[in-house]
Chains A and B, each alone.
Chain A
Amino acid sequence: MSTFIERAKFSCALGGAISTVAGIHRAIPIVHAAGGCAGMLSGSYNLAAGYRGLGYCGGNMIPTSNIAENNIVFGGEDRLSEQIEHTLKALDGDLYVVLTGCQVEIIGDDAVAVAGKFKSQNVIGVSTPGFLGNALKGYDAVLSAVARGTVQEAPVKDPLTVNILGVVPGHDVFYRGNLEEIKRLLGLIGVKSNVYFAAGETVEDIKKSGNAALNLVLSPVSGVLTAAAYKDVHGIPWLRSELPIGPTGTRAFLLQVGEALGISKALVEKVLRAEESYYYSYLERIVDIYSDLDFQRYAIVAADSYYAHALTRFLANDLGWIPHLTSINDIEGEFEREEYRASFSDINSETKPIVVFEQNAGEILNRIRESWPLNRSQKYYDSLSPAYVVGSGIERDLADKLGAAFLAVAYPVSNRVVLNKGYAGYRGSLTFLEDLFTNLVAAR
């Protein structure tokens, strides 16, 4: 059973579903709910995902059945049917996805069945009421429905094609930049990838994604249900992986994919050496200022499980920062928490991070206080300083209270604009370092 959450870093399943559809080129959501849900939820991602914008058909452009109190009493299926019919006339899309809100699910409307009547016109229906859970649930609901209903059967698999799952548009504020780097890296070892949401990928590519030899799930939480749907319907096996950030993460990622697809290790190693050499040729630029000004920091990471370990490992293993505390906000089960905690065994710095699971944003400060001797106004005090908080936008106040530097990476991010940048891979980690260090020199 879920509990209340203080300052949740999520919208609901419908929000995640809308954001996921908005990530697909020329896809159009049709929301069966009260009039405000679609616009408000899409608006959350417009402002809180690095000003991602409304997209092709977001915000108040989203077709909505706009049900009211009388529909709550008499049902809204007829209204939805009328709305779909007129949407097809008015709006030009390659895929129409009917999504449902809480109201119509409680009264028992069968929106998926109504959508089914328009199947020949590229309409699919997905049940996505907010009470299903957080945004990640909406992502999986939409993509599993796509895997079951839109992706075409492909009896012959291409041994060097993979699908990338678990990267939730908008919830990963840097999703496009991240996916483009992952696609580039996989291309270097000869692997074609469907990433769904990057520039140049279309609904046609998604329809053909059934020919992949492997699905890679880059998150411990999202993407698993979709991978299961692909396995079920298209017989594609899946592998849990991780968002690769920086040399350590990317090396592990490419070696894992290479091994799974039977790619020659020599080829992968050759690519890794070239990429690492590229990475260090740029990292070298900050060696002097890093050393002269002492840019080593205590790192406090507060993020969802998709980013938390990946960021911590980069900061600790690659950058040489001191990983003090990492707080994860999206894993609830005890077993899953222990499994995730175990993943930190690959942190190879002398100091290991304290790993906590905390849904309530305000509690992170308490966990930090418990983790460090209090200042009792003694003459000499070993403070948790200099520190750097890498979290979501909500952690800005935490950083202020700690006197720490701050960079917002995890959703929500509303204090900076994100266009094509990403933090994945070698190139993304250089961008991450630019952003981290820019904050340290910004006042000059």
Chain B
Amino acid sequence: MSKYTDELEYGFTSALAPPVRETRIGVCSAYCGTCAELNRDLKTGCAQLQNRKFAQSGGCQLGLAMGIASSLTRSAVVIHSPLGCCSGFGGSAGLRKTMRASKGKKDEEFIWAHTNMDQLDVVNGGTEKLKEAILYIDKYSRPEVIIVANGCVPGIIGDDIDSVAKELQGSVSARIVPIHCEGFKSRYVASGYDAAYHGILRHLVEPAERIERALPDEGKDAFERYRISRTVNIFNVGSNSNGDEVELSRLVSALGLYAKVLPLHATVEDLSHIGEAGLNVSICATHDDYLLGHLKERFGTPYIIDTLPIGVVNTNRWLRVIAAEFHLEKEAERLIKLETTALEEAIEPYKKVLAGKTIYVGGGETRILTTAQYFSYLGMKLLGVKAHNVDRFVEEFLEETDGPELSIEVAAGQPAEELAILNRLKPDLYCGHMGANGWVTRLGIPVIPLFGQSLNYMGYSGAFELARKAAKAIKNTNFAKNISSNVSLPLRQSWFESDIRDNIKPDDLL
């Protein structure tokens, strides 16, 4: 299991909707200070009760929930909302092709529908249109799964999507999976992952029916039990690439274990075998503690939520905890030695280029802290980090950090504060989440993305790629220079000069 989840309880799947993370885990989503200060204020609970005066847009849990659910093979989506929620599908639908192609999966057209709620529906309810949409999608594209996601409007007016799903389930060939992910319900957008997994756990994770052998064969049965006991489910996330999955599977297999990658892009059939594993392993606590906790309850599968395998130190650590579960410590050490020796030699030229260069990292909490640690490992000087949120899963990282005086900002989105910090720190390089990098470029700082769906970041091969990418970015920094000289930011000079800590205030909820 995980020391981070020892105090957490699961067992929410009898409810229609999961609790939001604010209540389930507790979270700090607004903070500005040093690592040591944040650590102190997290312990007293003050950090979790802050908000801001000047707020900017962040994410929406609906988007994150759909990132997970809509990836399922042969799935279609009905968004119960006006046309705006998930309108990003219009631009991202084509990505399904490239994502699936990168994994060697069959090409699929991505089909979705909106119930297109209007003013009348706000008054009268929109469940009739939802029924029509589900029936249409079922007939039109015959998917295996129809995801039904509800936005804020049905959430506020009280449309009951579960009753609709129940009513229609007998009349359609697809399995209907209602997902409750109204944006206004949680500022901790990772609640959307719980929402998606809640729906998947309730409606899709049904163990495959076991067919008894016509002729008993104890040998084969024993082998199957052995195979299952040595199977490691690696839980993928929307921000990892196929390259990451191949690398992590390779490492797990090198320990003599069977690696399986789930649940994104999985088929219903794959999900029905999700319980057949000796160990479930997370690569990002922010994504899947809810799923792993519930799978433990349902199938008894032990799980590991520890670190994100980015960079040498954390990949080593990730492998060691997995190996320890199977008493493969010696094998792990041999593998680690072999891998790190080859890698060290390969990254030597990049270390020379990057030595002493300063860097700032922004994005999801575990991802940034592990990535930042690797940049330090490469000899770069870490100036600060920005985390979307901070919760129990990174407390240890914060305690362990070598720089208690390191600048840390906690904000989902909110580029204004981060840009003011960056304007003071002026790092040589910035590594950040999608949506942030463009603003930092406008500030004149060269950037590399924190993740990419077609780029390898994880494991030893990912460590090589990340070093290579950082070194490449500083081979020519003219793009950021030219942009910052010619394209203006909307922030006033007085904002850059102000103490942005003043923007943080106690939450109104108090």
Contacts and interface: CB of A to CB of B under 8 A. Distances in A.
User: Do A and B actually bind?
Assistant: yes
Interface of A: 1-15, 26, 28, 31, 34-44, 46-48, 53-54, 56-57, 59-72, 79, 82-83, 86-87, 89-93, 101-103, 106-107, 129-135, 360, 362, 392-394, 396-397, 411-412, 414-415
Contacts of B455: none
Nearest to B420: A90
Nearest to B487: A56
Contact of A36 (B59, B117, B130): B59
Given A8-B83, A131-B117, A3 B129 contact: yes
Given A61-B415, A106-B157, A6 B140 contact: yes
Contacts of A132: 118-119
A39 B85 contact: no
Nearest to B119: A131
A131 B82 contact: yes
Interface string B184-215: 11110100000000000000000000000000
Contacts of B111: 6-7, 362
Given A11-B83, A60-B414, A102-B122, 16 more contacts: A3-B132, A4-B129, A6-B112, A34-B60, A34-B183, A40-B84, A48-B90, A70-B509, A71-B184, A86-B53, A102-B82, A106-B122, A106-B157, A130-B82, A393-B93, A394-B93
Interface string B391-417: 000000000000000000000111110
Given A5-B116, A12-B87, A131 B187 contact: no
A11 B57 contact: no
Given A54-B438, A60-B57, A89-B494, A10 B83 contact: yes
Given A72-B156, A102-B153, A131-B153, A4 B115 contact: yes
B425 interface: no
Given A39-B57, A62-B56, A103 B91 contact: no
B141 A64 contact: no
A13 B91 CA distance: 18
A39 B413 contact: yes
B133 interface: yes
B152 interface: yes
A35 B113 contact: no
In this complex, the interface size class of chain B, counting residues with CB under 8 Å from chain A, is: 35 or more
A61 B490 contact: yes
B140 A79 contact: no
B490 A57 contact: yes
A43 B153 contact: no
B88 A1 contact: no
A103 B182 CA distance: 10
Contacts of B492: 89-92
A8 B87 contact: yes
B113 A5 contact: yes
Contacts of A66: 55, 57-58, 187
B497 to A, nearest CB: 12
A298 B94 CA distance: 25
Contacts of A396: 94
20 contacts: A2-B120, A7-B89, A7-B90, A7-B111, A8-B87, A34-B184, A36-B57, A39-B435, A40-B60, A44-B88, A60-B57, A60-B413, A62-B56, A64-B58, A66-B57, A71-B184, A86-B53, A101-B152, A130-B82, A414-B91
A134 B83 contact: yes
Interface string B88-132: 111111100000000000000101111111111110000001101
B316 interface: no
B67 to A, nearest CB: 12
Interface string B494-510: 11000000010000110
B81 interface: yes
A65 B55 contact: yes
Given A31-B57, A48-B91, A90 B84 contact: no
A70 B92 CA distance: 33
Nearest to A138: B84
A6 B137 contact: yes
A397 B83 contact: no
Contacts of A91: 416, 490-492, 495
B61 interface: yes
A6 B83 contact: no
B136 interface: yes
B62 A36 contact: yes
Given A83-B55, A103-B184, A130 B93 contact: no
Contact of A63 (B56, B112, B185, B488): B56
A90 B184 contact: no
Given A38-B57, A68-B184, A91-B490, A44 B118 contact: no
B403 to A, nearest CB: 27
B54 interface: yes
B119 to A, nearest CB: 6
B258 interface: no
A34 B119 CA distance: 19
Interface of B: 53-63, 78, 81-85, 87-94, 109, 111-122, 129-130, 132-133, 136-137, 140-141, 151-153, 156-157, 183-187, 189, 412-416, 435-436, 438-439, 488, 490-492, 494-495, 503, 508-509
A59 B112 CA distance: 24
B156 A61 contact: no
B502 to A, nearest CB: 10
Given A36-B189, A70-B509, A44 B183 contact: no
Contacts of B112: 6-7
Contacts of A93: 490
Nearest to A92: B492
A40 B59 contact: yes
B57 A62 contact: yes
A394 B90 contact: yes
Contacts of B184: 34, 67-69, 71-72, 103
Nearest to A45: B91
Contact of B60 (A37, A68, A415): A37
B154 to A, nearest CB: 10
B58 A103 contact: no
A56 B90 contact: no
A34 B191 CA distance: 14
B438 A53 contact: yes
Nearest to A132: B119
A392 B87 CA distance: 14
B53 A82 contact: yes
Given A5-B113, A393-B90, A414-B91, A14 B183 contact: no
Contacts of B117: 130-131
A21 to B, nearest CB: 12
A92 to B, nearest CB: 5
B55, B59, B83: residue with the most chain A Cβ atoms closer than 10 Å: B83
Contacts of B494: 89
B261 to A, nearest CB: 26
B57 A64 contact: yes
B55 A6 contact: no
Contact of B436 (A7, A60, A90, A130): A60
A130 B183 contact: no
A48 B187 contact: no
A89 B495 contact: yes
B94 A37 contact: no
A65 B436 CA distance: 20
A65 B438 CA distance: 23
Given A6-B111, A56-B490, A93-B490, A87 B87 contact: no
B415 to A, nearest CB: 5
Contacts of A63: 54-57
Contacts of A14: 84
Contacts of B113: 4-8, 360
B439 to A, nearest CB: 7
A36 B414 CA distance: 11
Contacts of B119: 131-132
Given A7-B111, A8-B87, A103 B56 contact: no
B201 to A, nearest CB: 24
Contact of B58 (A39, A70, A72, A87): A39
